[in-house]
């Protein structure tokens, strides 16, 4: 099947004859004897059959549209305006490759330049690449970059770090033998600054998040940056960019490298992927030369007009091979363009409103949760709120699910010191009645 | 005659007018003030553009019109497998059961998603002859890093700490050495023979007790099948190394030959090449990695499992020696959905026909173009899914380079081939037509290359000054690197200082 994708199937014989071959087998005569096999795979199907079959399979998923969900912990249900989806489905964007030929790829190049520019405004650093795979890999690459820059062997991260990111960091740092050191949180859920001072000596970089994994704004972020710099380490800030309308740009707070998740704009959750990692650095030649990933630059055509092109490629694998700053080739260009379109639609006012609505909805969730359970940390939360329960969390989870509600992300597995705790999250999509139903249900099960 | 749209489109920043908005925000649940600590409150300028929705739509539609995609015409980038991306893939990937599902949802609420992953793994196992797959890697290079990290973990686990060398042919993709270096390996380059295949003698001399593995693309980047593959596998395995298959070129043997039967232990695939998912201007891709049974305990977590008795799919974190994660969560799920859609439509015979026609098309171009003045065919004549010509004679005789040929092709509404790769061919033009272009498009492509040859020898200026019909004239990439302007913020600063005139 799938013959509708193969225009030359009926012309096969004619084409073979034209170029002097007897058969298709002759085209494969260089394959060793006996290696060509009949595969044990199903027969092809019509498009209609596959359409109905996969629709049915996917309908087996329960979506957050059908079931109020309080899951966050790094993936959030944001609303994507319809026009964003339609624009990135323009097939000239969708079906293009990496813009190796800039003269026929100005559209994608300019869109990616705009993505870099919009992120630069958000994070307060002027040098942004055109995407990494996701926040986690961007952070891991930042650690490797910091190691190349400082030639040291230790990267400092908060203990309150997403297990996803922690595992990615572990894998990326295994080869170069970069050690990772955890700094615990204090009684308010903030990074313990005194413990950081002990850990920072000889570090390549210090990593911190805005907000942190517990959804809290790190109140000592400026001081943390200073501690990093005094120790000769780079200050790496991971940021949820949806907060940057209301919280200061990390570039203004001393960050040397900013990483984060661009897919929170313009992209649905997609069961976790694709995403797009933000990667930004200060305007420092030495840092730029160590950057991973593709970068789009503005330049001129031979007749003096403005144009865009991939640039600073001598850092990259196709030129430097084993000496490249990273192996990344395919990135997440279309995800980044979707983020850019969403950001261009929001504008400064929209981004501020988005941040404020999330902040207020999170505050409401936190306040209501504190009526029925222990909310361990004060301070300002953005999206995620940790909650401690007196009964095992799986009992609560089951009870909520029976009420048609999906509870939060269980913390006990990776943070046993928190006991039977979970992260509950709100965004601009969270509705009051969902939270009220949640609280009612928790009154019964918690 | 081809004429690309040309809009002189300003950036979104230049289109901005005060007060315009392109969104509506839901109201907060409670309009109470939440105080952000003073020192954290945003005080710096937030210079985002202000546009209404119709302006945003026009802007990006115009930009898209200045972009060439697979749907625009032939796009024969070698090693990139720019085949048609079926529209049904998009339709299925747009299902709410994809878009609106959180990765941490209770397994009972995401059975559909897990089943998609389980089924996809099943197809990939049979196609490659591997025993277990991770779907986590986001792209080919991410898959390579996964694969070589598994090889590293395997040797370390066996106490063979001295296996620090990864062997890579000089014809390999740049990602191979880069991924190996990232995983901590020393890269040893293996020279190719004149016909483009691995030099067995050089390989024999390179293997030792330090050999961790050999990364190989088969067919190689010249589009030539490594016919001594079984001998290559023997040499590497005898030395205690493992064999890694770079799946970039799988389209050549899809449904006919399995890397597992060639002796490979680890395989990465590119769903965005072989399995028809769109490249999106550079990504997202998806780079699943398959391994033979003895390596499955090193795969990233989680794997997808299926409990047949209870007909239940689940995430399996019980992978005892796992290398960890190479990306957050489970990979680019929306890409996997597209690939499975394609596989189900193609089926066994469709996949076989795919590689057969892809190989026929590449050989058709090879034979039709061979002998044209200025182009030379290095290596063996019989190709698989792609072919590589050298424009070295043309450059010597007329001064017209591979780059000029590429730019001139754009004038005919055709995308250029990959150029200057593989590195072992001078002035390389690497052409991979794929199975989804028609004979007429192939003929037109060959005619265009022949016409360019004629022009090179009679009127070289028209080629050297190409392109003429594209949205912009030739772009100055030297200037871009010499004086980087990476963002609008940089542009404004340089403009204010009077240092640029763009």
Looking at the complex, does the CB of residue B18 fall below 8 Å from at least one CB of chain A?
Answer: no
Q: What is the CATH number of the domain that holds A133?
A: 3.40.640.10
Same domain, A49 and A159: no
Nearest CA in chain B to A171: B324
Query: B interface mutation test: which of A48, A66, A107, A383 has the most B CBs within 10 A?
Result: A107
Nearest CA in chain A to B466: A103
CA–CA distances in Å: residue B30 to residues A362, A390, A408, B360? 10, 28, 21, 65
Same domain, A324 and A194: yes
**pLDDT at residue A316 is higher than 90:** no
Same domain, A103 and A189: yes
> Scanning the structure block, which residue is given the tokens 């006919």?
B256
pLDDT tens readout for residues B180-221: 999 999 999 999 998 789 999 999 999 999 999 999 999 999
Same domain, A258 and A152: yes
> Scanning the structure block, which residue is given the tokens 């963002």?
B487
Element of type H or E holding A386: strand A384-388
Q: Which residues of chain B neighbour A47 with C-beta distances below 8 Å? A: 88, 345
Q: Say how many CA atoms lie within 13 Å of A261 toward its Cβ.
A: 28
Q: Which residues of chain B neighbour A429 with C-beta distances below 8 Å? A: 26
pLDDT tens readout for residues B315-349: 999 999 999 999 999 999 999 999 999 999 999 99
Looking at the complex, does the CB of residue A285 fall below 8 Å from at least one CB of chain B?
Answer: no
Tell which B residues from 447 to 466 touch A, by Cβ distance under 8 Å.
Answer: none
Say what the pLDDT of residue B375 is: 98
Q: Say how many CA atoms lie within 13 Å of B439 toward its Cβ.
A: 12
**pLDDT at residue A80 is higher than 90:** yes
Say what the pLDDT of residue B1 is: 82
Looking at the complex, does the CB of residue B424 fall below 8 Å from at least one CB of chain A?
Answer: no
- The reply to whether A47 falls in a domain is yes
Q: Which residues of chain A neighbour B414 with C-beta distances below 8 Å? A: none
Inter-chain CB pairs, A–B, below 8 Å: 732
What number is the average pLDDT over the span A404-430?
A: 97
Same domain, A175 and A26: no
Say what the pLDDT of residue B106 is: 98
Element of type H or E holding B188: strand B186-190
Rounded distance between C-alpha atoms, residue B417 and residue B118, angstroms:
36
Number of domains in chain A: 2
Tell which A residues from 98 to 127 touch B, by Cβ distance under 8 Å.
Answer: 98-108, 110-114, 116-122, 124, 126-127
CA–CA distances in Å: residue A354 to residues A289, A350, A361, B32, B99? 35, 6, 11, 15, 21
- The reply to whether A311 falls in a domain is yes
Rounded distance between C-alpha atoms, residue B95 and residue A86, angstroms:
14
Q: Which residues of chain B neighbour A78 with C-beta distances below 8 Å? A: none
Rounded distance between C-alpha atoms, residue B346 and residue B349, angstroms:
7
**DSSP state string for B336-347:** HHHHHHHHHHHH
Query: B interface mutation test: which of A298, A367, A427, A432 has the most B CBs within 10 A?
Result: A298
Same domain, A39 and A154: no
CA angle, B244 then B248 then B251, to 5°? 115
pLDDT tens readout for residues B357-412: 999 999 999 999 999 999 999 988 999 999 999 999 999 999 999 999 999 999 99
Say what the pLDDT of residue B194 is: 82
What is the CATH architecture of B89-345? 3-Layer(aba) Sandwich (3.40)
Same domain, A49 and A102: no
Domain C-terminal end among A314, A342, A370: A342
pLDDT, mean over chain B: 97
**pLDDT at residue B48 is higher than 90:** yes
Rounded distance between C-alpha atoms, residue A315 and residue A296, angstroms:
13
CB A22 within 8 A of CB B327: no
Say what the pLDDT of residue B191 is: 93
Nearest CA in chain B to A13: B360
Same domain, A162 and A199: yes
Q: Helices H, strands E: what count in chain A?
A: 15, 12
In DSSP terms, which residues pair with A61 in a beta bridge? B110
pLDDT > 70 fraction of chain B, expressed in percent and rounded: 100
Looking at the complex, does the CB of residue A95 fall below 8 Å from at least one CB of chain B?
Answer: yes
pLDDT > 90 fraction of chain B, expressed in percent and rounded: 97
Say what the pLDDT of residue A84 is: 98
Query: A interface mutation test: which of B470, B487, B495 has the most A CBs within 10 A?
Result: B487
Looking at the complex, does the CB of residue B345 fall below 8 Å from at least one CB of chain A?
Answer: yes
Judged by CB atoms closer than 8 Å, whether chains meet at B486 and A32 is answered as no
Please report, to the nearest 10 degrees, the dihedral formed by the alpha carbons of residues A102, B3, A337, A431 taken in order.
Answer: 180
pLDDT, mean over chain A: 97
What number is the average pLDDT over the span B174-180?
A: 96
Same domain, A52 and A133: no
Same domain, A226 and A318: yes
Looking at the complex, does the CB of residue A270 fall below 8 Å from at least one CB of chain B?
Answer: yes
Tell which B residues from 125 to 144 touch A, by Cβ distance under 8 Å.
Answer: 126-127, 138-142, 144
pLDDT tens readout for residues A175-204: 999 999 999 999 999 999 999 999 999 999
Give the domain range for residue A21: 3-59
In DSSP terms, which residues pair with B316 in a beta bridge? B303
Judged by CB atoms closer than 8 Å, whether chains meet at B48 and A344 is answered as yes
Domain C-terminal end among A312, A342, A372: A342
- The reply to whether A175 falls in a domain is yes
Element of type H or E holding B449: helix B439-458
Looking at the complex, does the CB of residue A17 fall below 8 Å from at least one CB of chain B?
Answer: no
Same domain, A131 and A230: yes
Label residue B475 by pLDDT band (50, 70, 90). very high
CA distance B289 to chain A (A): 15
**Can you tell me the ipTM of this complex?**
0.98
CA distance A91 to chain B (A): 6
Say what the pLDDT of residue A318 is: 87
CB A162 within 8 A of CB B139: no
Tell which B residues from 202 to 261 touch A, by Cβ distance under 8 Å.
Answer: 224-225, 227, 229-230, 253, 255-258, 261
Q: What are phi and psi of A156, to 5 degrees?
A: -100, 125
Judged by CB atoms closer than 8 Å, whether chains meet at B480 and A321 is answered as no
Judged by CB atoms closer than 8 Å, whether chains meet at A268 and B100 is answered as yes
Label residue A319 by pLDDT band (50, 70, 90). confident
CA angle, A283 then A287 then A289, to 5°? 110
Looking at the complex, does the CB of residue B29 fall below 8 Å from at least one CB of chain A?
Answer: yes
Judged by CB atoms closer than 8 Å, whether chains meet at B100 and A73 is answered as no
Looking at the complex, does the CB of residue B182 fall below 8 Å from at least one CB of chain A?
Answer: yes
Judged by CB atoms closer than 8 Å, whether chains meet at B105 and A71 is answered as yes
- The reply to whether A113 falls in a domain is yes
SS3 track for A5-67: HCCCCCCHHHHHHHCCCCCHHHHCCCCCCCCCCCCCCCECCCHHHHHHHHHHHHHCECCCCCC
What number is the average pLDDT over the span B302-311?
A: 97
CA–CA distances in Å: residue B276 to residues A222, B271, B279? 47, 7, 9
Domain C-terminal end among A292, A317, A342: A342
pLDDT tens readout for residues A143-186: 999 999 888 899 999 999 999 999 999 999 999 999 999 999 99
What number is the average pLDDT over the span A115-140?
A: 98
CA A445 to chain centre: 34
Judged by CB atoms closer than 8 Å, whether chains meet at B435 and A8 is answered as yes
Say what the pLDDT of residue A446 is: 83
Same domain, A166 and A245: yes
């Amino acid at each position: 099947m799938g013959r509708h994708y193969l225009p030359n199937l009926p012309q096969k014989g004619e084409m073979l004859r034209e170029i002097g071959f007897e058969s298709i087998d002759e085209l494969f005569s260089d394959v060793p004897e006996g290696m060509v096999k009949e595969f044990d795979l199903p027969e092809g199907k019509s498009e209609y059959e596959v359409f109905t079959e996969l629709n049915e399979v996917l309908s087996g998923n329960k979506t957050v549209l059908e079931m109020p969900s309080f899951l966050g912990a790094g993936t959030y249900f944001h609303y994507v305006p319809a026009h964003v989806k339609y624009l990135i489905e323009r097939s000239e964007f969708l079906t293009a490759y990496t813009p190796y030929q800039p003269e026929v790829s100005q559209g994608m190049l300019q869109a990616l330049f705009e993505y870099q520019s919009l992120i630069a405004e958000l994070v307060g650093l002027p040098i942004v690449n055109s995407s990494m795979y996701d926040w986690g890999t961007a952070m891991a690459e930042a650690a490797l970059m910091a190691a190349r820059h400082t030639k040291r062997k230790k990267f400092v991260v908060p203990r309150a770090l997403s297990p996803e990111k922690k595992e990615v960091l572990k894998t990326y740092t295994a080869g170069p033998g970069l050690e990772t050191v955890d700094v615990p949180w204090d009684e308010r859920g903030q990074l313990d600054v005194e413990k950081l001072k002990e850990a920072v000596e000889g570090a390549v970089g210090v990593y911190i998040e805005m907000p942190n994994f517990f959804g809290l704004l790190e109140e000592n972020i400026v001081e943390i940056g200073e501690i990093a710099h005094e120790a000769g380490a780079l200050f790496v800030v991971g940021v949820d960019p949806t907060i940057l309308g209301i919280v200061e740009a990390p570039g203004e707070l001393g960050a040397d490298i900013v990483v984060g998740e661009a897919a929170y704009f313009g992209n649905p959750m997609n069961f976790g992927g694709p995403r797009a990692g933000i990667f930004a650095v200060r305007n420092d030649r030495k840092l730029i030369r160590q950057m991973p990933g593709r970068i789009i630059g503005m330049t001129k055509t031979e007749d003096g007009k403005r144009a865009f092109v991939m640039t600073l490629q001598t850092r990259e694998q196709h030129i430097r091979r084993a000496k490249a700053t990273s192996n990344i080739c395919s990135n997440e260009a279309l995800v980044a363009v979707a983020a850019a379109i969403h950001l261009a639609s929001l504008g400064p006012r929209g981004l501020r409103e988005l941040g404020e609505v999330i902040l207020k909805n999170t505050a409401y969730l936190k306040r209501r949760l504190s009526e029925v359970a222990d909310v361990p940390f004060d301070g300002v939360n953005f999206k995620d709120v940790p909650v401690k329960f007196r009964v095992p969390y799986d009992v609560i989870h089951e009870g909520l699910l029976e009420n048609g509600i999906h509870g939060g992300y269980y913390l006990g597995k990776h943070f046993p010191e928190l006991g039977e705790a979970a992260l509950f999250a709100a965004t601009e999509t969270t509705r009051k009645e969902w939270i009220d139903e949640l609280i009612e249900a928790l009154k019964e099960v918690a | 005659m081809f004429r690309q749209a040309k809009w002189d489109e300003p950036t979104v920043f230049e289109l901005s007018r005060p007060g315009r908005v392109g969104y509506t925000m839901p109201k907060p649940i409670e309009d109470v003030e939440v105080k952000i600590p003073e020192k954290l409150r945003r005080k710096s300028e937030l210079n985002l553009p202000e546009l209404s929705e119709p302006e945003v739509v026009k802007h990006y539609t115009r930009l898209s019109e200045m972009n060439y995609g697979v749907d625009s015409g032939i796009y024969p980038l070698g090693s990139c497998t720019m085949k048609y991306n079926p529209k049904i893939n998009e339709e299925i990937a747009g299902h709410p059961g994809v878009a609106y599902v959180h990765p941490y949802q209770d397994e009972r609420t995401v059975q559909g998603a897990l089943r998609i992953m389980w089924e996809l793994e099943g197809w990939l196992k049979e196609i490659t002859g591997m025993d277990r797959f991770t779907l986590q890697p986001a792209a080919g290079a991410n898959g390579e890093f996964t694969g070589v990290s598994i090889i590293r973990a395997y040797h370390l686990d066996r106490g063979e700490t001295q296996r620090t060398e990864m062997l890579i042919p000089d014809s390999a993709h740049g990602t191979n050495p880069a991924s190996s270096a990232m995983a901590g390996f020393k890269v040893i380059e293996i020279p190719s023979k004149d016909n483009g295949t691995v030099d067995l003698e050089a390989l024999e001399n390179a293997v030792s007790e330090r050999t961790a593995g050999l990364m190989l693309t088969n067919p190689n980047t010249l589009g030539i099948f490594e016919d001594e593959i079984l001998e290559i596998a023997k040499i590497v395995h005898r030395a205690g190394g493992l064999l890694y298959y770079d799946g970039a070129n799988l389209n050549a043997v899809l449904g006919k030959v399995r890397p597992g039967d060639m002796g490979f232990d680890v395989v990465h695939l590119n769903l965005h090449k072989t399995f028809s998912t769109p490249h999106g201007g550079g990504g997202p891709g998806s780079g699943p990695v398959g391994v033979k049974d003895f390596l499955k305990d090193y795969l990233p977590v989680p794997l997808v499992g299926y409990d047949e008795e209870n007909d239940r799919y689940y995430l399996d974190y019980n992978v005892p020696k796992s290398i960890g994660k190479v990306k957050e969560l489970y990979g680019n799920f929306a890409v996997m959905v597209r690939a499975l859609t394609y596989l189900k439509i193609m089926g066994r015979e469709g996949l076989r026909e795919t590689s057969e026609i892809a190989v026929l098309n590449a050989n058709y171009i090879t034979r039709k173009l061979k002998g044209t003045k200025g182009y030379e065919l290095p290596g063996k004549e019989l190709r698989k899914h792609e072919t590589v010509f050298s424009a070295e004679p043309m450059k010597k005789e007329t001064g017209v380079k591979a780059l000029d040929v590429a730019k001139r092709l754009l004038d005919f509404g055709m995308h250029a081939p990959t150029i200057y790769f593989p590195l072992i061919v001078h002035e390389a033009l690497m052409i991979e037509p794929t199975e989804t272009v028609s004979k007429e498009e192939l003929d037109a492509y060959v005619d265009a290359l022949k016409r360019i040859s004629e022009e090179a020898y009679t009127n070289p200026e028209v080629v050297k000054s190409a392109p003429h019909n594209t949205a912009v004239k030739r772009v100055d990439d030297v200037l871009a690197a010499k004086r980087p302007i990476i963002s609008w913020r940089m542009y404004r600063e340089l403009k204010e200082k009077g240092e640029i005139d763009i």
